[in-house]
Every structure is written in C-alpha cells, then in structure tokens.
Amino acid sequence: MEGQVISLLMSNVESIPGKTVVNSLGLVTGSTVRAKHIGKDIFAGLKNIVGGELKAYTELLNESRNEALQRMMMDAHARGANGIVNVRFATSNVAAGASELFCYGTAVVVE
C-alpha cells in the first residue's frame, strides 16, 4: 500500500455536498511527526532577520500534512470507504525541533 496514491472524497462538513451518505464506518486517523534538517533551519534563521513568511517551514508543514492525509485515506480505503466527512486537523509540539501533524475524520460510503 505504501507509495500508492489514493484519492477519496473529503469534506469538513457533516456530509459530502452533492452526495448522500449511505453507511458510516467509524473514525479514521492519520499522523506524522517531522523535523527539519539543520541546514534549512539555519536558512530559516537568516530569514528571521526580516521576518514575514518562513517558506522552508511552510513547505515542510504542507508536505507533512499531505502525508498525514494520505495515511488517513489509506486507513479509510482499507475499510472500504469512498469518502471521509468532518475532517479535522490538529498540530502539536512533541519536542523542540519537531511537530506532530494529526488529522482525523469519519469514514463513510457515499453514493
């Protein structure tokens, strides 16, 4: 399953607009913990001289969040779902230099 890209219908409302939910398959989750390598850390430190957006971190967070979503979709796919509703995101600092990105939702079958 690893490396395979799955695409499911997702939404953060109670249903998938335009479709009807026929079956609920329970909670699905996906998470990832990431840290940046020290080189990019130094560059981000240099960017801190002027402030504003820290692109290295934005990029890292985006790709990690996509990975978390992918894991959640794999979880849902394994249960035979074709959609996930009420998707939520959570971010937490697990250690200095690392962040956990977590997402969860309800796997459903839609028509």
Partner 1 sequence: MSALVSILVYSIIGIAVSLVFPFTSWALGRWYQDSIMSTLREEEKVIVNTYGFDNKASVTTSNKMSQVGAEYSTLLHVSLCVGPSMGQIFFMWVKSIFGGRLHSYDVVLDYGRREALLRLRKQAAQFGCTSLINIRIETSVISFAKTDKSKQASVEFLAFATGIR
Site string for partner 1, 45-64 (x = CB under 8 A): x--xxxxxxx--xx-xxx--
Name the token pair of 111: 């028509």
For partner 1 (CB under 8 A), the number of binding residues is 39
Confirm if 56 and 40 have CB atoms less than 8 A apart. yes
Range 82-101, binding partner 1 (CB under 8 A): 87, 89, 91-93, 96-99
**Cα separation, 105 vs 89, whole angstroms:** 9
> Could you say whether residue 65 binds partner 1 (CB under 8 A)?
yes
> Could you say whether residue 17 binds partner 1 (CB under 8 A)?
yes
Name the token pair of 81: 């779902």
Q: How far is the CB of 41 from partner 1 (least distance, A)?
A: 6
Q: Residue 64: how many CA atoms within 13 Å on its side-chain side?
A: 21
Burial 82-104 (b: 16+ CB within 10 A, else e): bbbbebeeeeeeeeeeebbbbbb
Q: How far is the CB of 26 from partner 1 (least distance, A)?
A: 19
Binding site for partner 1 (CB under 8 A): 9-19, 35-36, 38, 41, 44-45, 48-54, 57-58, 60-62, 65, 87, 89, 91-93, 96-99
